[in-house]
Copies of this chain bind each other. A is one copy, B any other.
Amino acid sequence: MGDGLVYFEDLEIGTKASFGHYAVTRDEVIEFATKYDPQPFHLDDDAAALTHFGRLSASGWHTCAMVMRMLVDNMTTRKQAGLGSPGLDELRWLKPVYPGDVLRIETELLSKKRSQSRPEMGSMQSIVRVFNQDDVMVMSMHSIGLIQVRNP
């Protein structure tokens, strides 16, 4: 099938990728937090100064959302026969993300597995590491993706 898509059979364990450039703005941090995570240290400099964050920082869920945007933008450069994600493991918010930060991603394919019950699909486990402009890792997670098998 010469459709140019990446299928389960094409995945090579150990494959690494490095991509993404997301500039975190103060307006976006406050907008996201106002809607979804209105804790004072995500909304207000003075409140944040009283915490270990030190200053206004992004909601961890906002960081996840920004990471997802970089992952989706990268998918379009090399399209996978993806079937969505059932979830993830070991998500860690390691360091605060601040307005002014620029985020990027490194991924590594850890393993893949054919489905026992559904021969037309498989799963893949990747580690996603998120860094800021100082190459400090701010977040990591083990993501799980489902992908079509080319020849079931």
Contacts and interface: CB of A to CB of B under 8 A. Distances in A.
A92 B123 CA distance: 14
A38 to B, nearest CB: 6
A30 B52 CA distance: 35
A7 interface: no
Contacts of A75: 39
A64 B66 contact: no
Copies in the complex: 2
A93 interface: yes
B92 A39 contact: no
Interface string A43-78: 000000001110000011100111011001001000
Contacts of A93: 85-87
Q: Looking at chain A, what size class is its interface with the partner chain?
A: 20 to 34
A19 interface: no
B83 A91 contact: no
A87 B83 contact: no
A51 B121 CA distance: 14
A10 interface: no
B35 A72 contact: no
